Amino acid sequence: MNATPLLFASALLLGACAPTVTSPQGRLVNTTTGQEGAIAFDGTLAPDWTLPTSKPNVTIRLGADVYTGRYTVLDDSATPGPLRLGVTVGASFGNTNSTAYGGSIEAGTRRTAAPRNGNLIAKTPAGQVLTCTFQVDVNRHGIGECQDGRGGRYALQF
């Protein structure tokens, strides 16, 4: 009896039950009081060229306040990351009549992706405003700073 189909079917069943996380989640912390809040992005933090009047795509919970608003991430495709160069040198000596020495220099256009800049503006139903600026990497991790309308400052990470 071949167990491969049974293992394959089991893996599919387990994979179907696993939660899928497509939207980054994070936190923000008041730099004065230490109060911590949660942030949830509705999307993948990819550059978004929809109009600012589009539906809200971020929710922030900070104490009893719930802020909703929009974030925008700028596209950096026109700005390549730093050029990477590699150098390899090798030598080999043995007790035979052959001696080998080799070297190569690899210079290419392989570049790392630079972090993308983003910002968000969110409000509570009562009109309290929270604005943030952040940078996000290719893995959708980011850091930034926020400020509310009352002068509170927050560190943001996701």
For the chain, 158 residues long, give each residue's pLDDT as a single digit of tens. 565 554 444 444 444 443 344 567 999 999 999 999 999 998 777 776 666 567 899 999 999 999 999 999 987 655 444 444 444 445 455 555 544 455 544 454 444 678 999 999 999 999 999 999 999 998 889 999 999 999 999 999 99
C-alpha dihedral, 91 to 93 to 97 to 100, nearest 10°: -10
HSE (CB half, 13 Å, CA atoms) of 16?
6
Q: CA-CA distance, 155 to 158, in Å (whole number)?
A: 10
In this structure, what token pair is assigned to residue 12?
């599919």
Is the pTM above the cut of 0.85?
no
Burial 60-84 (b: 16+ CB within 10 A, else e): bebeebebebbbebeeeeeeeeeee
Q: How many CB atoms lie within 10 A of CB 47?
A: 12
Q: CA-CA distance, 156 to 145, in Å (whole number)?
A: 5
